[in-house]
Amino acid sequence: MENSVHSMLAVTWFGLIGLMLVIYVVTDGFDLGVGILSLLTKRRSDHDVMIESIGHVWDANETWLVVLGGALFGAFPLAYATLLQDLYLPVMALIAGLIMRGAAIEFRHSATHGKVWDAVFGTGSLVAAASQGVILGTVITGFVPGPLSVIFIVIAAIGVVAGYALLGSTYLVGKTVGAIEQWSRRMALLSAVVTVGAAVLLTAATWLYSSVGHDRWSQPHVFHLLMALGACAALCFAVVMGTLYLGSSTIPFRASVALFLMSFVGLAVSLFPDFVPGKIGVVQAASDSPTLVFMLVGIGLVFPVMIGYNLYQYFIFRGKVVGRAEMGE
């Protein structure tokens, strides 16, 4: 009985951490994407509009990363220790990138060094996104060294950067007007193609070269579920491309978010019941039952507040950024 309760708590926390990860990736992903896209335009007025579009939400978005790290440490300490000892460099690079972004947003109004801080903002966004791609690729490969793993990790990093650029560009399509909106629409089309291309390559590599992934995907119920998720992801991609061509302002971002959700559900299905592929299972990595229950009560109190605050922010600051947005025309 005790084992079944502990297993249920461990699986519950696996799902909660997956949910926190999805929320972080979607919310912080689009503002990281905006930062990455800022490297592709040199007009200061464009940078002003881009940063204004995320200025009231970016810091709250990053709060989810802090909560995610704390939850992982408390609920799955063995997985936390195993992951961190091999991921110190990309994690430190991720933190450095986020620090660069925060500092740049505060100091970019400098009369003499404004353009430098704009470059720091974009570079920090790119470093943070690429670091997350390296972390993702390393975890999926099960920390197995070798040239194939390096190629896999590089493709994962490119995919994450392109995916965040997709979220950022479709977000800008809905938040800006004039020349910036049209430019963002073109960037979204390009980003969508690169994102899906990287995803297809990673899927094929996982099937062909990962023994853990191949064994898991070979299970009939898993294979059928992944096929359904793949079909949904293809539909989301088609909606993104079609609505961008048709001139919609809001649907491309929602479809991009749905595309990310399908991908993350597929990742969770592929990993489970392992937390670290081929090394540590979800139940094995979990804390004892009293700790998981105590944390569950705490997150039950905090979670609604955080989600409510995020939704309230987006509601208050909804609508397009106008005025200086038209200066790029």
Task: Give the tens place of pLDDT for each residue, 175-221.
Answer: 888 888 889 999 999 999 999 999 888 888 777 766 666 677 777 78
The percentage of the chain sitting over the pLDDT mark of 70, rounded to a whole number, equals 94
Indicate the pTM of the whole model: 0.89
Cα separation, 5 vs 289, in Å, equals: 8
Q: Are 14 and 296 in contact (CB under 8 A)?
A: no
pLDDT confidence of residue 212? 64
Instruction: Give the pLDDT band of residue 237 (cuts 50, 70, 90).
Output: very high
Please say if the pLDDT value at position 129 is more than 50: yes
Per-residue pLDDT of 132-152, as tens digits, reads: 999 988 888 777 777 888 888
- Per-residue pLDDT, averaged over 286-307, amounts to 88
Query: In b/e form, how buried is each residue of 95-123, taking b as 16+ CB within 10 angstroms?
Result: eebbebbeebbeebeeeeebeebbbbbbb
- For residue 37, the one-letter residue type is L
Quote the pLDDT of residue 134.
Answer: 92
The span from the first CA to the last CA of the chain, in angstroms, equals 67
Distance CA 68, CA 70 (A): 5
Predicted local confidence at residue 94, as pLDDT: 92
Q: Is the pLDDT of residue 26 over 70?
A: yes
What residues contact 305, with CB distance under 8 A and at least 6 apart?
Answer: none
pLDDT surpassing 80 at residue 285:
yes
| Domain range list for the chain | 2-318
| pLDDT per position as a tens digit, 67-113 | 888 888 888 988 888 888 888 899 999 999 999 988 888 887 765 76
The stretch 254-269 carries a mean pLDDT of 88
In this model, does residue 316 exceed pLDDT 70?
yes
Rg of the chain over Cα atoms, rounded to whole angstroms, equals: 20
Scanning 55-177, the segments in alpha helix (DSSP H) are 58-75, 77-86, 88-107, 114-140, 147-175
Write down the pLDDT at residue 322.
Answer: 66
Residues 212-233 as b/e (b if ≥16 CB within 10 A, e otherwise) read: bbeebbeeeeeeebbeebbebb
pLDDT at residue 327 in the model:
39
For the cut 90, the answer to whether the pLDDT of residue 37 exceeds it is yes
The pLDDT of residue 328 is 41
Q: Which CATH topology does 2-318 take?
A: Formate dehydrogenase/DMSO reductase fold (1.20.1630)
Helices (H), 176-288: 178-209, 211-217, 220-246, 251-271, 282-285
For residue 164, pLDDT beyond 80? yes
Q: How much is the pLDDT for 162? A: 94
Distance between CA atoms of 120 and 124, rounded to whole angstroms?
Answer: 6
Residues 248-274 have a mean pLDDT of 87
Whether residue 262 contacts residue 240, with contact meaning beta carbons closer than 8 Å, is answered with no
**What is the pLDDT of the chain when averaged over all its residues?**
85
Q: Give the pLDDT of residue 47.
A: 83
CA 252 to chain centre: 17
Query: What is the per-residue pLDDT for 258?
Result: 93
